């Protein structure tokens, strides 16, 4: 099997979308890793890249003119990523942890899907909002008085 540069160049925008999905999710994963979460610098970018890849593959085979098929792809992605996020939720007696990471992994999947569809504005805003919630809202959570 030979790899022609024409094939690589033909899909260059797809490869850039995959790299963009990775780059947008990395700071979020780094934040989670830095705070000792079970999901971090590997999981978040991989979920984003995976979501982007499924969208790109679906678009390649289904096309952009099949909204029902696209909706099924998105439904499967949302369900699958929710399952991955569910693995972050841990219950200890009356205390539950990992819900923010679980929600964040779901948003990271949306970042990857947006990149796959070429909605870069959406992907960037989602990444900024996701990172901001952990950065700024985390400070608010630490400042709240104990119950």
The pLDDT tens digits of the residues spanning 101-118 come to 899 999 999 999 999 999
Yes or no: say if 134 and 104 are a contact pair by the CB < 8 Å rule.
yes
- pTM for the model: 0.86
Percent helix, strand and coil across the chain, each to the nearest 5 = 75, 5, 20
For the cut 70, the answer to whether the pLDDT of residue 58 exceeds it is: yes
Percentage of the residues of the chain whose pLDDT score is greater than 70: 90
Give the residue with greater pLDDT, 47 vs 34.
47
* Cα angle 15, 68, 47; round to 5: 35
Strand residues in the chain grouped as ranges (E): 90-92, 95-97
């Amino acid at each position: 099997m030979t790899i022609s540069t024409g094939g690589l160049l033909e899909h260059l925008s797809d490869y850039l979308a995959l790299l963009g999905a990775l780059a947008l999710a990395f700071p979020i994963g780094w934040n989670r890793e830095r705070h000792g979460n079970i999901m971090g610098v590997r999981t978040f970018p991989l979920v984003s890249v995976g979501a982007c890849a499924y969208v790109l593959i679906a678009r390649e085979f289904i096309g952009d003119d099949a909204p029902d098929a696209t909706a099924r792809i998105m439904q499967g992605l949302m369900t699958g990523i929710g399952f991955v996020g569910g693995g972050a939720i841990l219950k200890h007696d009356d205390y539950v942890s990992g819900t923010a990471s679980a929600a964040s992994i779901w948003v990271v999947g949306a970042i990857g899907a947006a990149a796959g569809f070429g909605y870069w504005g959406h992907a960037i805003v989602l990444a900024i909002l996701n990172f901001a919630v952990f950065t700024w809202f985390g400070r608010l959570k630490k400042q709240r008085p104990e119950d």
